[in-house]
Amino acid sequence: MNDVVLTGDRPTGPLHLGHYFGSLANRVELQGRLPLYVLVADYQVITDRDVPGEIRRHTTGLVLDQLATGIDPARATIFQHSAIPELNQLLLPFLSLVSVAELGRNPTVKDEIAHSSQRAVSGLMFTYPVHQAADILFCKGTLVPVGKDQLPHLEVARLVARRFNERYGPVFPLPEAMMGAQPLLKGLDGGKMSKSRGNAIALSATEDETAALIRKARTDSERLITFDEERRPEVANLLTLGGLCLGRTPRELAEEIGDGGAATLKRVVTEAVNEFLRPIRKRRAELSEADARRVLAEGNERARERAARTLEEVRSAMGF
């Protein structure tokens, strides 16, 4: 079986350590072994907000973040929705393969609607998982590294692929999710780590910004540092973060800190994070916006050729 890996992010802000340990490290590891497509999902930005905002700046930033972590543009194809008309055109036949009831049952979409600040729910909110199926299927992606929240979308992609094949003949492989083995990192306030909640350490943050964020992190007043996810989730989360950066288990780190209290814990984690991110930040500082634009232009061209071939196959299978 010829596996193809596809993954993507919405360009809504800088990538952070949650992305790194959840998915970026995995991408870098995979790019040497399998064809890898990395999507800047720019059209998906307007699912939960009215306007794309600073889309160009976030797009460039996203590409630079990926390059800084070690994604090699000679091996990986980095591209964006808005530059690939042939990918977007797959949405039309794909929408004919799912029912309105199925679209309404998607738990991730329901959750996004519940948390949305928009006054009205747009049609795109219900249909973007089908667009995401086009993201995956245009390059016949088979492995999709994603977090748990994306599993319902992967089910949609499998449904679309299966139904297309049943109706029109075998064109698409059924993609599979690849879940990171890493523990889930929470934000520094104990909630979901998120670009928009101010509780995440961006890969591109400065050392001082990193120190300030960790200083503000929630902890408790027990002097003896222990790894207890049930009773001390905030302390456990800092130990997890520090452990990931140091390549040690959270328990080992807790023992080392012993009765140093929250102050020592924060100092150790700050040093660990800054040390870990130093080479990534250094590489990012050496890159320019022009580098990002050149990488995208090349990736877009490659992705467009791939999408054109798939669209041709789809049209011909459907008898157009």
Binding site for ligand TRP (CB under 6 A): 6-10, 39, 41, 44, 132, 135-136, 144, 146, 150
Residue 51 backbone class (left: φ over 0; alpha: ψ -120 to 50; beta: rest): beta
Q: What is the DSSP letter of 2?
A: -
Taking a C-beta distance cutoff of 8 angstroms, is the pair 9, 62 a contact?
yes
Q: Which is nearer to ligand TRP, 34 or 224 (CB)?
A: 34
Q: What is the DSSP letter of 175?
A: P
> Shortest distance, CB of residue 141 to ligand TRP, whole angstroms?
8
Quick one: 113 exposed, middle or buried, by C-beta within 10 A (0-12, 13-18, 19+)?
middle
Q: Which is nearer to ligand TRP, 146 or 254 (CB)?
A: 146
> Shortest distance, CB of residue 202 to ligand TRP, whole angstroms?
16
Positive or negative CA dihedral for 145, 149, 152, 156?
negative
> Shortest distance, CB of residue 206 to ligand TRP, whole angstroms?
25
Q: Which is nearer to ligand TRP, 160 or 235 (CB)?
A: 160
> Shortest distance, CB of residue 99 to ligand TRP, whole angstroms?
21
Q: Which is nearer to ligand TRP, 194 or 249 (CB)?
A: 194
CA nearest to 45, candidates 89, 81, 83: 81
Which backbone phi and psi does 102 adopt, to 5 degrees? Answer: -65, -40
CA nearest to 121, candidates 53, 48, 46: 48
Q: How many CA atoms lie within 13 A of 74 on its CB side?
A: 1
> Shortest distance, CB of residue 303 to ligand TRP, whole angstroms?
13
> Shortest distance, CB of residue 144 to ligand TRP, whole angstroms?
5
Q: Is 124 helix (H, G, I), strand (E, B) or coil?
A: helix
Q: Which residue has the tokens 């041709």?
A: 312
Q: Which is nearer to ligand TRP, 59 or 150 (CB)?
A: 150
Q: Which is nearer to ligand TRP, 141 or 242 (CB)?
A: 141
User: Which own/partner contact pairs does 252-260 have at CB distance under 8 Å and 24+ positions apart?
Assistant: 253/227, 254/225, 254/226, 254/227, 257/225, 258/224, 258/225, 259/223, 259/224, 259/225, 260/223, 260/225
Cα separation, 287 vs 245, whole angstroms: 23
Cα separation, 58 vs 165, whole angstroms: 37
> Shortest distance, CB of residue 18 to ligand TRP, whole angstroms?
11
Q: Which is nearer to ligand TRP, 132 or 210 (CB)?
A: 132
> Shortest distance, CB of residue 126 to ligand TRP, whole angstroms?
14
Q: Which is nearer to ligand TRP, 130 or 238 (CB)?
A: 130
